Structure 1
């Protein structure tokens, strides 16, 4: 199934609302259209065999619509939401500069800053020297994002362990989750990822946010 075929299938479902979940979600939130065409943030072809997941941005929100498609039958099997996940490694120091911190690892930082630099919001300044590594910014499930981050960090085990030791290096998770009915679920970390984090001496911190409209009764 091509991207255009997937988009056409989703557009038809959003118009006809053959699934109860489609009507339920579209009653409270709307997808984004550009030039009368449904906007797709990503089509995930790494899921199970014969399945793809299309992630659609939602107007005014950070989370996504998630549309599950069986490519063997060309049918949409389910529609839900996927949280906006940021899964990254961060190291901070009051002594070492951002340049000195990034020199400890051979991995390329996604972003770095020094104490006193203006934050992106333009309203305050950073209090520490720091850098972060965010290898997978695209829409994805939390479990996949964590595995991809660990894959990336394991390319420099010694450097990451050194940053954990001297610069408070750890994994930071930020999630913006749709709160449709008060049951937001939660992240799962399997035993293999726990082992991998332990080998790198990594801790993990979660910041969870809920947003969006509740389902209509």
Structure 2
């Protein structure tokens, strides 16, 4: 299916609401349109089950509508929401500068700051220096984002293990989850991911935020 076919099929479903859950979602939240065009943040064609997933931004929210399609029948199989998952490596130090932390790894740093720098809110300063590595900012499932991050970090195992030992490096996960019916679920760590994190000496921390309107 082309992007245009996927968009047209989703627009049809949002109009006709053939799935009861589509009607439930659209009663409380709306997709984003720009110049009367339905906005899609990402189309995932790389799933092991061969389904296509289209992630659509939700108006004034940080989570996404997730529409699953069968490319064989070109039909929608389900409509759901997907949390906004921020999955990244973070190393911090009260003694080392951001430049010194960056020098420990060959990987690209997404964000960094020095102890004493002003925070984005402009009201306080950081109490420590830090570097953040977040290679995947697109909407995706948590498990895929974690696997992709680990694959990236493994490209510089020496540097990451040094940041772990000298700057408290670890994996931070922040999730913005839709609270439709109070059953928000939670992250799943498979044995392989746990083993890969252990090999790098990594801990993982979760910060879960519940957002949005409940079903009526």
TM tier relative to shorter chain: over 0.9
Identify the residue that residue 99 of structure 1 maps to in structure 2: 99
Shift of 1:11: 0.4
Which secondary structure does the structure 1 equivalent of 2:8 belong to?
Answer: helix
Identify the residue that residue 72 of structure 1 maps to in structure 2: 72
Q: Does 1:166 align with 2:166?
A: yes
Which secondary structure does the structure 2 equivalent of 1:48 belong to?
Answer: coil
Shift of 1:21: 1.0
d(CA) in 1 for partners of 2:66 and 2:122? Answer: 33
Deviations 1:14-46 (A, max 9, x none): 001011111010011000001111000100111
d(CA) in 1 for partners of 2:174 and 2:118? Answer: 21
**Structure 1: which 5+ residue stretches go unaligned?**
none
Deviations 1:115-144 (A, max 9, x none): 121222333221111010001010000000
**Structure 2: which 5+ residue stretches go unaligned?**
none
- Structure 1 consecutive aligned stretches of length 4 or more whose deviation exceeds 2 Å: 120-124
Q: TM-score, normalised by structure 1?
A: 0.98
- Contact kept? 1:42, 1:55, Cα under 8 Å: yes
What CA RMSD, in Å, does the superposition of the two structures yield over aligned residues? Answer: 0.8
d(CA) in 2 for partners of 1:39 and 1:119? Answer: 32
d(CA) in 2 for partners of 1:189 and 1:92? Answer: 24
Q: How many residues align?
A: 216
Deviations 1:196-217 (A, max 9, x none): 000000000000010100001x
Identify the residue that residue 157 of structure 1 maps to in structure 2: 157
- Contact kept? 1:178, 1:212, Cα under 8 Å: yes
d(CA) in 2 for partners of 1:176 and 1:34? Answer: 23
Identify the residue that residue 187 of structure 2 maps to in structure 1: 187
d(CA) in 2 for partners of 1:95 and 1:54? Answer: 44
d(CA) in 2 for partners of 1:11 and 1:64? Answer: 15
- Contact kept? 1:50, 1:72, Cα under 8 Å: no
Q: Does 1:124 align with 2:127?
A: no
d(CA) in 1 for partners of 2:73 and 2:118? Answer: 52
Shift of 1:186: 0.4
d(CA) in 2 for partners of 1:124 and 1:12? Answer: 48
Identify the residue that residue 24 of structure 2 maps to in structure 1: 24
Q: TM-score, normalised by structure 2?
A: 0.98
d(CA) in 1 for partners of 2:128 and 2:197? Answer: 24
Shift of 1:49: 4.5
d(CA) in 2 for partners of 1:184 and 1:123? Answer: 33
